[in-house]
Amino acid sequence: MINGTVLIVDDNRSITESLELMLQGEVEKVISLNDPNRLYEILRKTEIDIVLLDMNFRAGISSGNEGLFWMKEILKHDRDISIIMITAYGDVELAVKAIREGAFDFVLKPWDNAKLQATINAAWKLRSSRMMAATLEHDNRHLKHEINSGRDKLISGISPTMVSVMNIVRRVADTEANILICGENGTGKELLAREIHNLSNRRNELMLIVDLSTIPETLFESEMFGHVKGAFTDAREDRAGKIEMANKGTLFLDEIGNISPASQSKLLSVIQNRCITRVGSNKNIPVNIRLICATNCNLTAMTDKGLFREDLLYRINTITIEVPPLRERKDDIPSLANHFLKYFSDKYRKDIIKISPDAMEKIRGYHWPGNIRELQHTIEKAVILSDSEAINSRDFELNRITGSDEYDGTGSLADMEKKMIADTLRKNNNNLSMVATKLGITRQTLYNKIKKYDL
């Protein structure tokens, strides 16, 4: 079943009726026109996916010029529409010319129904892939614009640890090396991956982001490698997977430490061979990707415990970049805080021009277990609730673990994180959405940590 619209344009009513009958039950919507002059009206009102277009519209005329003219008009409206030319046997050269100028394919009168249906299905696959690529490109441009406006402030800084990180980024960005970015939640691993992509020779291609922690194991192969129609109950059409969609660009796999050993094995094969096989198919599809992975887990420790494949770790960490937590780059807090202040003041139309010295000292002294993400949420909340031109220390409600805003250095980081999550769960009556928001993490990450700490 084609979930789109097919437009038939032919002056012979018997042909349009015959095609309508053939496509009944095979296509979601079919529209027929006997007068091509109505094309402009139809294209304005309806999103068309495939056009079956006659080459000639007047008796005795076989130049094909009318068909070529209307084909060009359709492509002016939407260059991604798949056009199939309908032509008589003697007009094959004209049909070939139409393909050179933008048509998808041509069929000869009288046509074979099975062959025509196969041609229409192929045209739909092309149309679908073009629409998917256009959507991804639009989303990527939108995200790139949003992130680029403040990216420099978020990932750069004057602290020695961040200066060192950015030096590594600039050295490795224009290579094809697989990169593993490690760091706590909220440190800006995705932003760093985007910077690597934007500095690479793939900067004009897509960067596809996949949060592996949100993909159930049962759907891993279908989501990552794609599937063909009929591969399983709900596979109603062929579908490209995430890896195939990232072809020629950058694939960013976030939370790679959260996938199962079985999924690790399947992913390893793809990384080694740079080739995927859709579920339900035996056809190998080569993929050309730049791979960047990220995790907040200690993959070496997981390898020692048999929880993460050692050979996969070697494949993904040609270069490892450790992103420092915010407590280790406190010299960068003022610039980060001022960046978020300006952003949220503009967003909420507030005339807040500064953070007072006592407020700045307070946030510099805090240990920031949620890192940059927690700082962002803290500034946003202060901007929303403030009625003055400056943010004061009382406008900041900081989570306290040790009884003071300054971390006292006792206990491991895992102990502190476990206590913070437990305290926040208790204070918010186990409302997971509220707890995730307060901690500045996703619900899925919260689920994972609750399971990890057995809370």
Are 289 and 243 within 8 A, CB to CB? yes
- Residue predicted with more confidence, 426 or 253: 253
Whether residue 286 is predicted with pLDDT greater than 90 in this model: the reply is: yes
Mean residue pLDDT of the chain comes to 85
Which of 173, 168, 172 has the alpha carbon at shortest distance from 198?
Answer: 173
- The distance between the two most distant Cα atoms of the chain, rounded to a whole number of Å, is 93
Length of the chain: 455
What are the pLDDT digits (tens) for 159-195?
999 999 999 999 999 999 999 999 998 999 999 999 9
Tokens in use for 25?
């039950």
What are the pLDDT digits (tens) for 321-358?
999 999 999 999 999 999 999 989 998 999 888 999 99
Q: How far apart are CA 360 and CA 355, in angstroms?
A: 6
Which of 175, 271, 253 has the alpha carbon at shortest distance from 213?
Answer: 253
For the chain, domains (ranges, CATH) are 2-127 (3.40.50.2300), 156-322 (3.40.50.300), 328-453 (1.10.8.60)
| pLDDT classification of 410: cutoffs 50, 70, 90 | very low
| Through-space distance between the first and last CA atoms of the chain, rounded to whole angstroms | 47
Whether residue 110 is predicted with pLDDT greater than 80 in this model: the reply is: yes
With b for 16 or more beta-carbon neighbours within 10 A and e for fewer, the 59-91 pattern comes to eeeeebebbbebbeebbeeeeebbbbbbbbeeb
Q: How far apart are CA 126 and CA 84, in angstroms?
A: 12
Per DSSP, 2 falls in state E
